[in-house]
Amino acid sequence: MIKVGVVGGTGYTGVELLRLLAGHPAVQLVAITSRGDAGTPVAAMFPSLRGRVGLEFVAPQDADLESCDVVFFATPNGIAMQQARSLIDAGVRVIDLAADFRIRDVAEWQKWYGMTHAAPELVAEAVYGLPEVNRAAIRGARVLANPGCYPTAVQLGFIPLIEAGLIDLGHLVADAKSGVSGAGRKAEVNALFAEAADSFKAYGVGGHRHLPEIRQGLGLVANEPVGLTFVPHLTPMVRGIHATLYARLTRDVDLQGLYEARYRDEPFVDVLPSGGHPETRSVRASNMCRIAVHRPQGGDVVVVLSVIDNLVKGAAGQAVQNMNIMFDIDERLGLDIVPVSP
Amino acid sequence: MIKVGVVGGTGYTGVELLRLLAGHPAVQLVAITSRGDAGTPVAAMFPSLRGRVGLEFVAPQDADLESCDVVFFATPNGIAMQQARSLIDAGVRVIDLAADFRIRDVAEWQKWYGMTHAAPELVAEAVYGLPEVNRAAIRGARVLANPGCYPTAVQLGFIPLIEAGLIDLGHLVADAKSGVSGAGRKAEVNALFAEAADSFKAYGVGGHRHLPEIRQGLGLVANEPVGLTFVPHLTPMVRGIHATLYARLTRDVDLQGLYEARYRDEPFVDVLPSGGHPETRSVRASNMCRIAVHRPQGGDVVVVLSVIDNLVKGAAGQAVQNMNIMFDIDERLGLDIVPVSP
Amino acid sequence: MIKVGVVGGTGYTGVELLRLLAGHPAVQLVAITSRGDAGTPVAAMFPSLRGRVGLEFVAPQDADLESCDVVFFATPNGIAMQQARSLIDAGVRVIDLAADFRIRDVAEWQKWYGMTHAAPELVAEAVYGLPEVNRAAIRGARVLANPGCYPTAVQLGFIPLIEAGLIDLGHLVADAKSGVSGAGRKAEVNALFAEAADSFKAYGVGGHRHLPEIRQGLGLVANEPVGLTFVPHLTPMVRGIHATLYARLTRDVDLQGLYEARYRDEPFVDVLPSGGHPETRSVRASNMCRIAVHRPQGGDVVVVLSVIDNLVKGAAGQAVQNMNIMFDIDERLGLDIVPVSP
Amino acid sequence: MIKVGVVGGTGYTGVELLRLLAGHPAVQLVAITSRGDAGTPVAAMFPSLRGRVGLEFVAPQDADLESCDVVFFATPNGIAMQQARSLIDAGVRVIDLAADFRIRDVAEWQKWYGMTHAAPELVAEAVYGLPEVNRAAIRGARVLANPGCYPTAVQLGFIPLIEAGLIDLGHLVADAKSGVSGAGRKAEVNALFAEAADSFKAYGVGGHRHLPEIRQGLGLVANEPVGLTFVPHLTPMVRGIHATLYARLTRDVDLQGLYEARYRDEPFVDVLPSGGHPETRSVRASNMCRIAVHRPQGGDVVVVLSVIDNLVKGAAGQAVQNMNIMFDIDERLGLDIVPVSP
């Protein structure tokens, strides 16, 4: 059994991680920390976990995290970078679901996240946990940077085109739509039901923190910088991300065949038959990414549709997938969930 | 492995049954019939099942249902009663998710369902599949009548009070609210998104088919007829039933203790701590029923709150629970799903 | 033109009041105060009011409220009671959309609202603004207590039965469902989209502040105390209240005729034809209350369905209706809005 | 008073037209036809219109449409083209909310709409009713083609850029999201609540009927053909369209100033302050279009956000606006509705 600790289990990625870990046959949950809710049974805060998670939240200082094999950080940005060092030194592997180790360029990170990085040397060694491009490196990672939700959907959609050198890299467009759980479980007026229901809006058009992460990921695949316009939107649903991607083709190719070949062996990427339109609910509660590729009217623009559950493949599920790889067990263990639809 | 056939797999109870059976470790899915969609891969109609259900729908006459151990009917009312006889004669056990075998009084059934019953002799032998009251009889059932969604939530809420002889049986009130998936996957204007979203209404106040089913069930527990006012409502969510139950207490008792004792050994009924308010999402996608019991201001009215997922404990999940009992395997097998929340 | 001031315009009842006042032909909006947002243009906070409300929020001390003819308080409980005295002394009439003047028994009020009342003498003179029972008194009111949302829907539903002396007053049941805007525009986790969407729950079963208000109102009509069980629920929609009311009939009567006669001359109460089921969307954005009355299976239980828009007839619209009555202009002025459906 | 007839009033554009016409001070509603619902009071089908529309639906042959000043067709495609001729010959002006007269190239129309056009000569004389580009011609129109919902939002967003000659016309992208009412009030499985709620998807990526309409409109403004990729999506809300538009700038300009100048005198187009993100709810139930223009990171890509209520500015409201222009009355009459938010 893998002994697991969770730091910060009171947000949506936290409770989702607990849902997945509670059903994972190779995991023993050792401790879940919360600064504000120490002493509260986890299942009192999240009644969906009644009978499945018997632990109480413990104060960080009271949790024996160093006895764990792996510790997940489901914390706000800026926490994991302060605590990872001592855990690693104690031989504990760290998976950060926040953004502390995602951007290799520390100055760039500091600009977008508005704080000084506490552990730049760990950034250098951290592995970016997108298994579909990085599986080998993940296996040996001590510090794993779990990708953001938008970056997961967008990168999986663009990667086959970029690897094959088929598109104009200067003017990519990613028009992405997220369910409201992506805003987190913080008390903010913007995320109130009566604000977000029955309405639709873009946000962060001027600049969103996932932009540099996506540019970095695509640039590494392309081996050159890419130009990307990224517009996130809020859509009135709880879970799900739908990325609609646009690029200009520079030469002809069998797009359907390309995507099917690229993802044939991936357990969590499903390429729909030609002409398909994936719905977010077709991956709800599961770790799947479903993708369809189109070339409208046979023109020179390729349109890729990519959907994930933002809390699973976009956060907690991908983190568990990464853990499975890191501990060399079946990558699908604990993630064998049939999507919930309707 | 239990060899399973499904008749009528294109509705919401059908696809939900497939979701559960696809993840059930003791089940081999043999055939899924559909009159109108024979030849269509199941996963083409329900993309959430891609990679999990490889079968195509087959025409009823082409399905070798008689080789199955059990056949589920996820059909409209009036189908199972025509086909059950020959299956039973072939040694196949039948679980009907529709209403054909729920009402013991055939005349009453014919009045509410507006058709002549094709197999009244099977009604007599059918077992009503509410495990919390009928587990022993379910074990030996050849024809199992899976309860309706409202009747499940309402009966589980009232049963402890009635068994204990605590309430005035003449004037029970069940105010029940259902998600829209309860209306089925039929093309009807009433169930359109633009009709049902952002609105709330009662329906069937004059009389709903689940009324005689609930009255029968409660009457059997009480050993006398009960007076019940049942008002169903449509609420803008996909899944979930919330029943709010009102009764007048005729004597004093520790209500919390009563409920906890009654359901202590039930794997799928969870009594919340005193003062609780169960949310439907706390059981979403799972087979749990969560119940809270209140006595406002210490008066003589007891209020019970009972929630289920209408497609799981209210339909497909309870059917699988019944199958597990009928085949004498662990009642929880294949139903070990952590609720999906948020 | 009636010169109008609004204290506290940043919540949902506030913005709704502004929507209605902006389209009211006899109103001149003089000032809208906000302690925290002074200097912000109203339309910057509420883009729906761009081009319709040109004012900025002003600090309370900078608003010349004493020059107004009427001041609306769209504030939290406990504010109006502190400021009403000086306004009244300056000849300004006060309409409080909060609860400060709703409960005649000051001790009872203090128990439910958890504070000491600052102006008990104004409670004595305040008029409860339910026009359908109190129109004459409203006309001369200096301090008007605008009813709560649940109390409006519940009282309008029960009143004809009580006035006619038809029901057992000891055991009334009001099962009420509200859209989430009823929780206000406060940053609270409970009201987040990802908490409230696609779920349904009861709350406050042990006791809700609208219970004493409803009991007081019904008791005044009955001329004796009434016994009431009131259970509010949260339903995943933005606006709307649906009250389902249950009472035991003590004698026979033409219920449909009774309701039609009672509300024949009321501009904002609509009795549906026999057998109807009002939807909340049929009154969305309007000041209407729609009611249907049922007697299931001809038994001795009467079921009343009553729907309002909680922000209009349940708050801002009723406040404008009261203002119209107080200033002796057409009661429907500015409220001539066709409901928005779908 | 303008005497108005409505053909086909049972869909969502129909009931919305009735909502607006019921509140229009210069309109007399003469007849509303329906083939299937003749004899039904309009308010029985649409309870939101109780007390506001007293008419019954009449069979088309029984409606004295020729006595009207104007007849609106809120019918499926292919109806207006059969009936317009005789109305026009009788001196009645025709406003078609469907697509019969929108595409000037009849062959192109026939390809996309899959039928032979019954009145090509009327196509030639028909005026495309987008007031912001066509006001003068609208004034004299006998046959008015009311624009589609997506085309309205997309054209209003792109027009200032194209008129100013600022962008690469070969590779425009319009990523558009619509509420589900856009699918109409037809009984179809795809538009069921339990299919469309809590999910998001693209559709028609291979080709949507609004593509040629948008290309025609933008091409007329540009005076040359434009290349456009148009991807519509379904978002789980009732009303609203959000178009996110992408184009490559070919030269520098003050984009904010350009948009403000272009729409300064338009009563129904509102340009948000720089940096804004319009929400669909900010125009709910109103005829407004709100637009924001962005240039992310100061690069060479312009992003325009354009929102409308698909049933108002995208259908019935724009039709009334066109009627007002055609009959030379204040363009805003009957459209003076403050948006309903929240």
> How much is the average pLDDT of C24-33?
97
Which residue in A192, A198, A237 is closest to C191 by CB distance?
A192
How many domains does chain D contain in total? Answer: 2
Residue A42 resides in a domain: yes
Q: Nearest residue on chain B to C181, judged by CA atoms?
A: B198
- Give percent of chain D with pLDDT exceeding 90: 99
Question: Is residue A48 domain-shared with residue A171, that is, in the same domain?
Answer: no
Same domain assignment for residues B158 and B222: yes
Asked whether B209 and B260 are in contact (CB, 8 A), the reply is no
Confidence at residue D2, expressed as pLDDT on a 0 to 100 scale: 98
The nearest alpha carbon in chain A to D204 belongs to A277
Residues in D touching A232 (Cβ below 8 Å): none
Residues A227 and A113 in one domain: no
Task: Kindly report the backbone phi and psi dihedral angles of residue D264, in degrees, each rounded to the nearest multiple of 5, phi listed first.
Answer: -50, -40
Is C197 within a domain? yes
**Which 183-202 residues of chain C touch chain A by CB within 8 A?**
183, 185-189, 191-198
Which residues of chain B make contact with A12, given a CB cutoff of 8 A?
A: 342
Mean pLDDT score, D52-69: 95
Please name which of C207, C223, C228, C102 lies closest in space to residue C162, comparing C-alpha atoms: C223
How far, CA to CA in Å, does D174 sit from each of A278, B201, D242, D278? 19, 38, 10, 16
Q: Specify the DSSP class assigned to residue C97.
A: S
pLDDT of residue D289: 98
3-state secondary structure of C306: strand
What's residue D9's pLDDT? 87
The verdict on a CB contact (< 8 Å) between D338 and C22 is: yes
- Map tokens 């209706």 to a residue: C321
What average pLDDT does this structure show over B135-146?
98
End-to-end Cα separation, chain A, in angstroms: 34
Q: What angle do CA C190, C194, C198 make, to 5 degrees?
A: 100
Check A193 against C188: CB less than 8 A apart.
no
Q: Classify residue D324: in a domain, yes or no.
A: no
> How many C-beta atoms surround the C-beta of residue B121 within 10 A?
10
In chain B, positions 243-262, which contact chain C (CB-CB < 8 Å)? 244, 246, 248
D236 at the B interface (CB within 8 A)? yes
- Residue B238, chain A, CB below 8 Å: the answer is yes
Interface chains of chain B (3 or more CB pairs under 8 Å)? A, C, D
Cβ–Cβ contact D273 with A under 8 A: no
Beta pairing partners, D290: D270, D307
Q: What is the pLDDT of residues D175-199, one digit of tens each?
A: 999 999 999 999 999 999 999 999 9
Whether B178 contacts chain C with CB within 8 A: no
Alpha carbons B92 and B86: distance in angstroms, whole number: 9
From the candidates D15, D27, D87, D149, which is the catalytic residue? D149
Beta bridge pairs of residue C244: C175, C305
End-to-end CA distance of chain B: 34
Q: Percent of chain A scored above 70 by pLDDT?
A: 100
| Cβ-defined contacts of D260-269 (< 8 Å, 24+) | D262/D159, D262/D160, D262/D163, D263/D132, D263/D160, D263/D291, D266/D131, D266/D132, D267/D331, D267/D332, D268/D131, D268/D313, D268/D321, D268/D332, D268/D335, D269/D132, D269/D156
**Together in a domain, C169 and C99:** no
User: Which residues of C are marked as active site?
Assistant: 149
Question: Are A335 and A322 in contact, with CB atoms under 8 Å apart?
Answer: no
In a domain, residue C117? The reply is: yes
B332 touches chain C (CB under 8 A): no
**pLDDT given for residue A9 in this prediction:** 87
Active-site residue (options: B58, B65, B141, B149): B149
Domain final residue pick, A75, A91, A125 = A125
CA distance B123 to B106: 8
Tell me if D244 and A238 make a contact (CB, 8 A cut-off): no
**Residues D158 and D306 occupy one common structural domain:** yes
* String of DSSP letters for B24-36: -TTEEEEEEE-SS
Answer whether D233 sits within 8 Å of A242, measured CB to CB: yes
Chain A 275-304, residues with CB within 8 Å of chain D CB atoms: 275, 277-281, 284, 292, 294, 296-297, 299, 301, 303
Average pLDDT over residues C24-53: 96
To which H or E segment does residue B319 belong? helix B317-326
Q: What pLDDT, in 10s, does the model give residues C292-307?
A: 999 999 999 999 999 9
Residue B316: inside a domain, yes or no?
Answer: no
Q: What single letter denotes the amino acid at residue B27?
A: V
Res A126: pLDDT: 98
Report the mean per-residue pLDDT for chain C. 97
pLDDT at B155 (0 to 100): 98
**Nearest alpha carbon to residue C184 among C341, C75, C99, C109:** C75
Quote the longest CA-to-CA distance of chain A: 62
Between chains, do C281 and B199 touch, taking CB under 8 Å as contact? yes
Same domain, B171 and B264: yes
DSSP element (H, E) containing C326: helix C317-326
- Return the residue matching tokens 């243009």: C41
CB–CB of A245/A172 below 8 Å?
yes
Alpha carbon distance A80, A75 (integer Å): 7
pLDDT category of residue C243 using cuts at 50, 70 and 90 = very high
Query: Are residue B223 and residue B290 in the same domain, yes or no?
Result: yes
* Res D66: pLDDT: 96
In this structure, the answer to whether residues D40 and D106 fall within a common structural domain is yes
B181–C contact, CB cutoff 8 A: no
Q: How far apart are CA C61 and CA A38, in angstroms?
A: 43
The string of DSSP codes covering D311-327 is TIIIIIHHHHHHHHHHT
Instruction: Report pLDDT digits (tens) over C275-290.
Output: 999 999 999 999 999 9
Is the same domain home to C183 and C71? no
Kindly name the residue from A71, A149, A153, A271 that is annotated as catalytic: A149
Residues A168 and A293 in one domain: yes
pLDDT of residue A40: 96
Residue D145 inside a domain? The answer is no
pLDDT for position B169: 98
Taking the CA atoms of A271, A277, A279 and A282 in sequence, report the sign of the dihedral they define. negative
DSSP structure class, residue C315? I
- D108-135 confidence digits (pLDDT tens): 999 999 999 999 999 999 999 999 999 9
pTM recorded for the entire structure: 0.97
Rounded to whole angstroms, the Cα distance separating C171 from B302 reads 12
User: Could you read off the pLDDT of B237-268 as tens digits, one per residue?
Assistant: 999 999 999 999 999 999 999 999 999 999 99
Taking 90 as the threshold, does the pLDDT of residue B9 lie above it? no
pLDDT (tens digit per residue) in D199-233: 999 999 999 999 999 999 999 999 999 999 999 99
Place of tokens 């699973």: A312
Beta carbons of D64 and D30 less than 8 angstroms apart: yes
Residue D182 lies in a domain: yes
For residue D189, being part of any structural domain is answered with yes
pLDDT number for residue B99: 98
Burial class of C158 by CB neighbour count within 10 A (0 to 12, 13 to 18, 19+) = buried
Strands, sheet with B127-128, edge to edge from the N-terminal-most edge strand: B57-58, B27-33, B2-7, B70-73, B93-96, B143-145, B127-128
Residue B110 has pLDDT above 90, yes or no: yes
CATH number of the domain encompassing residue A277:
3.30.360.10
Best residue of B149, B199, B241 to probe chain C, by most C CBs closer than 10 Å: B199
Same domain for D158 and D114, yes or no, is no
Q: What are the pLDDT digits (tens) for A114-153?
A: 999 999 999 999 999 999 999 999 999 999 999 999 999 9
pLDDT > 70: what percent of chain C?
Answer: 100
Q: ipTM, 2 decimals?
A: 0.97
- Residues in A 6-35 with any Cβ partner in C closer than 8 A: 12
Q: Are residues B88 and B159 in the same domain?
A: no
Which residue of chain B comes nearest to D179, CA vs CA?
Answer: B194
pLDDT band at C9 (very low <50, low <70, confident <90, very high): confident
CATH of residue B23: 3.40.50.720
Radius of gyration of chain B (CA): 19
Q: What is the pLDDT of residues A74-92, one digit of tens each?
A: 999 999 999 999 999 999 9
pLDDT on residue D177: 98
pLDDT tens digits for range A15-61: 999 999 999 999 999 999 998 999 999 999 999 999 999 999 999 99
Q: Domain span at residue D261?
A: 150-310
Residue B220 CB-density burial (10 A; 0-12 exposed, 13-18 middle, 19+ buried): middle
Model pLDDT for residues D11-57, shown as the tens digit of each residue? 999 999 999 999 999 999 999 999 899 999 999 999 999 999 999 99
The subunits that touch chain A, with at least 3 C-beta pairs less than 8 Å apart, are: B, C, D
By CB neighbour count within 10 A (0-12 exposed, 13-18 middle, 19+ buried), where does B260 fall?
A: middle
Q: What is the pLDDT of residue B154?
A: 98
